[in-house]
Amino acid sequence: MKASQILIIFLILSINSLIANSKIKSHNPSHFLTKYNKKIQQKQSESQDKCYGIVFDCGSSGTRYYVYQWECRSESSLPQLDFSQILSEKVNNPIAKHYTNPQALDSIFNPFFNKIKSIIPEDKHSSTLLMLGATAGMRLITKMQQFVIIDRIRTLFRNSGFLFLGDDRSRVINGEEEAVFLWVAVNYMLKNISLESDVDNPETVTTIDIGGASTQIAFSDIIDNQEAEEFYTLQVPQLPEQKFNFTLKGASELLGMDVSRYEILQSEVKADNISYASCFNQGFENNDTRLGKIVKGQGNPENCINKIRNLFQISNCSYPDEKNCSAKSIFIKGPQGKTTYAVSAALYAKLAYFGDVPEFNPHDLRNAAIEFCKQKHQDVVAKEPKNKFIDIKCYQGLYASTLLIDGYGVGDMQIQSPSEIQTQEPTWALGLLLFELSKRNSDSR
């Protein structure tokens, strides 16, 4: 099955550039603030020493909030976040399951609001920005079901006592936006985009996010105007202090680790209604309720790699052949030689095989996974009795390495995959905050 593929270009432009490129379509035009909200913003920047923002990340496994803190500045600018003061909490209660009873969402958000109000000083509540992004879990339900859930959340947000600037600040974001927001977050945390930079065009990194349902890549690149017109575009105003512009490509494929694993398992079902799973250790056996089949591990990593390649629509390139396989895949390739940061499932695969090291080579990960997959299931369980993900560790390593090598074509370069940057795990939620702040600051000028 060919995964849907959409490109998004994230443009941070100067005012002159916006005028010069007025023909470029904008997916999300600016929404101007009301006079009331402008007054709140002005009062906030002039009188408060600390500003706060809340971002809710509503995923397929649960609901998490982040509380961000920064020094208020009178001029329109990106915040200088205090990373030591970022607070976060999660409940394993995804919002997507509540479309038949949206009032049940109150029991998720009201306790969160009470907790956050105990963290943020009371006189700052009314000026604390509140926003939400819902991801994979919400994309899997119907538009009407999404509306019922988001509508209830917007009502809760309007009555929360925090600064909720409009319905567009609580919505379902798509995979391309996740790619963009993660890129912004990682490069901000690495100080590749900051107001203090003395470099006209600072070097940025490529970001790859491997999730359960989808996988995203984003990178800064130079493209000509003719190519730009073919892309799905989103314009973001440049802040007056910035000396540089970015053109960001982001792409998403509906072939995350969980989705791809079940597609392969389904393809290996035989006439006896058993899935003979090449991507699981020999001796593994389980009645998979999601698949509705018995799964029996075969421990055939070479065949598993080729199955994954087939999902990426790579033909005539069977393992161990690795030359130019990625040129045939459906994935957008990042710039060669550019530093790449990989998070989520890539991070977990690295941790599973190499521990908490800051970087890894995808070929080393593939080789380690092949050796692991050839072992008997009972033996690997005996070696790692406390690893609750031991059953999928074989697939985890083969999928992550094959995606990086044959999908995104990263070659033999080292992949940066830190558990934390500046004491925090990099997430798209920070990118959403920075995006909304830049839009808000532009609207207020």
Per-residue pLDDT reduced to its tens digit, 30-87? 333 344 444 445 555 455 589 999 999 998 889 999 999 998 875 556 778 889 889 9
pLDDT higher than 80, residue 366: yes
CATH class of 5-204+221-251+426-444: alpha beta
Q: Which amino acid is at 76?
A: S
CA angle 250, 27, 232 (to 5 degrees): 40
- The pLDDT assigned to 321 comes to 84
Q: How many beta carbons lie within 10 A of that of residue 161, not counting itself?
A: 15
- SS3 state of residue 359: strand
Distances (CA, A) of 30 to 129, 350, 399: 17, 40, 40
327, with CB counted inside 10 A (0-12, 13-18, 19+), is: exposed
178 is catalytic: yes
CATH 3.30.420.40 location in the chain:
5-204+221-251+426-444
- As a whole number, mean pLDDT of residues 232-240 equals 44
pLDDT for the residue numbered 33:
38
Please, which contacts does 308-316 make with residues 24 or more away whose CB atoms are closer than 8 Å?
A: 308/260, 308/264, 308/398, 308/399, 308/402, 308/403, 308/406, 309/402, 309/406, 311/1, 311/255, 311/260, 311/263, 311/264, 312/255, 312/402, 312/403, 312/406, 312/407, 313/2, 314/406
Residue 263, token pair as written in the block: 């597609």
Q: Smallest Cα–Cα separation from 236: which of 12, 7, 430, 76?
A: 12
215 assigned ligand-binding residue: yes
Cα distance between residue 82 and residue 49, in whole Å: 13
**Which range has the worst mean pLDDT, 17-21, 72-76, 248-252?**
17-21
214 labelled as ligand-binding? yes
pLDDT one-digit tens code per residue, 161-173: 999 999 999 999 9
d(CA 42, CA 73): 10
Other Cβ atoms closer than 10 A to 228: 14
pLDDT value of residue 196: 53
CA pair distance 346, 403, nearest whole angstrom = 10
Give the pLDDT score at 444.
Answer: 57
**Mean pLDDT throughout 319-346?**
87
Residue 315 labelled as part of a binding site: no
Helix (H) or strand (E) holding 285: strand 285-288
Kindly report, residue by residue over 391-435, the tens digit of the pLDDT. Answer: 999 999 999 999 999 999 998 899 999 989 998 989 999 999 988
Distance CA 104, CA 89 (A): 19
What pLDDT is stored for residue 247 in this prediction? 67
Section 307-317 average pLDDT: 93
Q: What does the pLDDT average to over 162-187? A: 93
Here the contacts of 221-226 (C-beta below 8 Å, separation 24 or greater) are 221/247, 221/248, 221/249, 221/335, 222/247, 223/9, 223/247, 223/249, 225/21
Structure pTM? Answer: 0.83
Residue type, 425: E
* The two structure tokens encoding residue 205: 């990194």
Residue 20 has pLDDT above 50, yes or no: no
Judged against a pLDDT cut of 80, whether residue 295 lies above it is answered with yes
What is the C-alpha to C-alpha distance for residues 249 and 9, in angstroms, rounded to an integer? 5
d(CA 138, CA 149): 9
Between 242 and 370, name the one with better pLDDT. Answer: 370
Q: For residue 211, what pLDDT band results from cuts at 50, 70 and 90?
A: confident
Instruction: List Cβ neighbours of 323 (8 Å cut-off, separation of 6 or more).
Output: none
**pLDDT attached to residue 319:** 92
**For residues 262-276, average pLDDT:** 97
Is 257-416 a domain of CATH 3.30.70.20? no
Note the pLDDT of residue 436.
85
Residues 176, 178, 253, 268: which is the catalytic one?
178
Position 337 confidence tier, pLDDT thresholds 50, 70, 90: confident
Across 302-328, average pLDDT: 91
Mean pLDDT, the chain, rounded, equals 83
- Within the chain, all domains assigned CATH 3.30.420.150 are found at 257-416
- Look at residue 371 in the predicted model and tell me its pLDDT: 98
Q: What is the pLDDT of residues 85-136, one digit of tens each?
A: 899 999 999 999 999 999 999 999 999 999 999 999 999 999 999 999 999 8
pLDDT of amino acid 12: 36
Highest mean pLDDT among 69-78, 221-230, 293-302, 342-351: 293-302
